[in-house]
Chains A and B, each alone.
Chain A
Amino acid sequence: MSTVLELEDLKKRYGSIWALNGIDLRVGKGEVLGLLGPNGSGKTTMLKLISGLARPTDGRILINGQKPGPASKAHMAILPDVDHIYEWMTVQQAVDYVSSFYEDFDYDKARRLIELMNIETDIKVGHLSRGMNERLKLVIVISRNAELILLDEPLGGIDPTSRDKIVHAIATEYRWEDSAMIIATHLVRDIESIFDKVLFLKSGQIALYGSADELREKYNGSVEDIFKEVFA
């Protein structure tokens, strides 16, 4: 399996606080990594560093052998944990605007996802509910056949009844088989079925890392149970 993402001794400091401290990681093509940890553990910081939205204090990040920058961003899709899409745009304008920058954007997939998520395309983004905004963000990210997809709390604003449907959509029919995916979340139960590997972050350091199935076997429980044990 070829490596899409490589982190080497990655460190990030804000003032006197180390948000990340010495992370080493490799993510291969087709892999889904669950990035788990409580609030403030460094999940968002790690995704920001990988996506080029923040700069490391020390260490190295390589995405397909490239450092984060305009070139690597063309092959990477990120869903941040904030509502980042222009409120004055309609849903259709937002999709058209973002898609115009990426060669890997799949319009057919976007149309099907918009239908699946029940999003009206002529409504302004600013008029969408929190949940609908989350869905739109997901549509924009998942519609791309990007080599690396980063999702920061993708289920945060989505009601529990829709979560299964959306998780299923992300994990199966709408996922590009070659893309590596990192999903940062603390809503482990709803999404753990799609993880190939899991990484538990605690105070900016790796507390536990391994194959999801092997860890379930070793700890004789679900990933959520392991989460509770690690962060108890």
Chain B
Amino acid sequence: MNFIKLYKKEFMKDRKSFVITIAIITAMMLFLYSRTGHWTPGLPTAILAVAMFGFSIAAFISSFDCMGDEWEHNNHYLMLSLPVRGRDILGAKLAWFVTEFGTYMLLLGACIIFVLLGEARGIGTINNALYSAITVAAWRTYGIMVLPVLYILAATGMLALSSYTVGSTVKRFKFWVGAISFIVPVGLLFYLSNKVMEISPAWMHVEMPLADILAWQKIENALNSNGVVSAGLTSFINGTVVGVDVLALLIWTIGFVGLFFMASWLLENVVEA
């Protein structure tokens, strides 16, 4: 129950900027969609892609503000005096961070696809069959990217919350202690996951052919009917797989969760106002 109260507080704090940001992204998408066919092909999509990059940077910076804001305005006195567990405080902050930036990223991703498809429709050489195949490919890619995006956001949030909390345990050199506690676990997890991948059995390596993700057969058929299929592209796509090593992923996940619980413990037992 405390988690819900704390999560609600995080939402209440950012609710106005959250709604405004969603409105701006939607308005930007509608505007850029209306410009397809008028502007240089690819420009509306490129603008949204740049916005997506900007939001990724903003997410990284914001992940530190989740805790930093409490300290900056002395609100940590209130936060630390509440009868709640450290994991509830950090969990609520993490959940809201993922909700907020997950919404922005997924909305922007959807906007990019809308505008991209809008642009594709205006290209004369793309017939209905090819357009339909591209649509399937685009939305499949989007669907596959949802979980990784949320995972990366959650991982960034856990890293930032833990490093800020570690930084808060000292009175001097907070920044450097925080920075080191951010970089060292990432380096260590990289090293461990690489080592694990060397010994990981083949069945732990889950692969998905790129041709399946992109519904390449449909696209190829449509291209064949247009007579513009490229043999080089076909062989590249058919020979490419997107894979993930489950054991390495598990190492990363255990690492992030471990950092989260370490930070929760520090918040309850070491951090001072």
Contact = CB atoms under 8 A, between A and B. Distances in A.
Interface string A79-110: 01011111111000100011011100000000
Contacts of A69: 268
Kindly state the interface size class of chain B when it binds its partner: 20 to 34
A61 to B, nearest CB: 14
B82 interface: yes
A74 to B, nearest CB: 4
Interface of B: 2, 5, 9, 12-13, 73-78, 80-85, 171, 268-270, 272-273
Given A88-B13, A97-B5, A70 B268 contact: yes
A87 B75 CA distance: 9
A14 B270 CA distance: 14
Contacts of B75: 84-86
Contact of A73 (B9, B13, B81, B272): B81
B5 A101 contact: yes
Interface of A: 14-15, 48, 51-55, 69-71, 73-74, 78, 80, 82-89, 93, 97-98, 100-102
Given A48-B272, A84-B78, 13 more contacts: A52-B81, A53-B80, A53-B81, A54-B272, A55-B269, A82-B74, A84-B77, A85-B75, A86-B75, A87-B73, A97-B9, A100-B5, A101-B5
A80 B273 contact: yes
Contact of A53 (B2, B77, B270): B77
Contacts of A51: 81
Given A84-B75, A87-B73, A88-B13, A78 B272 contact: no
B84 A101 contact: yes
A182 B202 CA distance: 65
Given A53-B81, A55-B272, A70-B268, A83 B74 contact: yes
Contacts of A98: 78, 82
Given A54-B272, A55-B270, A80-B273, A70 B85 contact: yes
> Can you list the 3 inter-chain pairs with the closest CB atoms, starting with the nearest?
A84-B77, A74-B83, A53-B273
B173 to A, nearest CB: 13
Contacts of A85: 75, 78
B74 A70 contact: no
Nearest to A70: B83
What is the interface of chain A mostly: helix, strand, loop, or mixed? loop
B273 to A, nearest CB: 4
B246 to A, nearest CB: 36
A86 B273 contact: no
A78 B78 CA distance: 9
Contact of B12 (A55, A93, A100): A93
B172 to A, nearest CB: 9
A98 B78 CA distance: 9
Nearest to A51: B81
A14 B171 contact: yes
Contacts of B273: 48, 53-54, 80
Contact of A101 (B2, B77, B80): B2
A102 B269 contact: no
B83 A71 contact: yes
A82 B270 CA distance: 21
Given A70-B84, A101-B5, A80 B77 contact: yes
A45 to B, nearest CB: 10
B82 A73 contact: yes
Contacts of A87: 73
Contacts of B81: 51-53, 73, 78, 80
B170 to A, nearest CB: 11
Contacts of A83: 74
A63 B202 CA distance: 57
B74 A101 contact: no
A89 B13 CA distance: 8
A15 B269 CA distance: 19
Contacts of B12: 88-89, 93
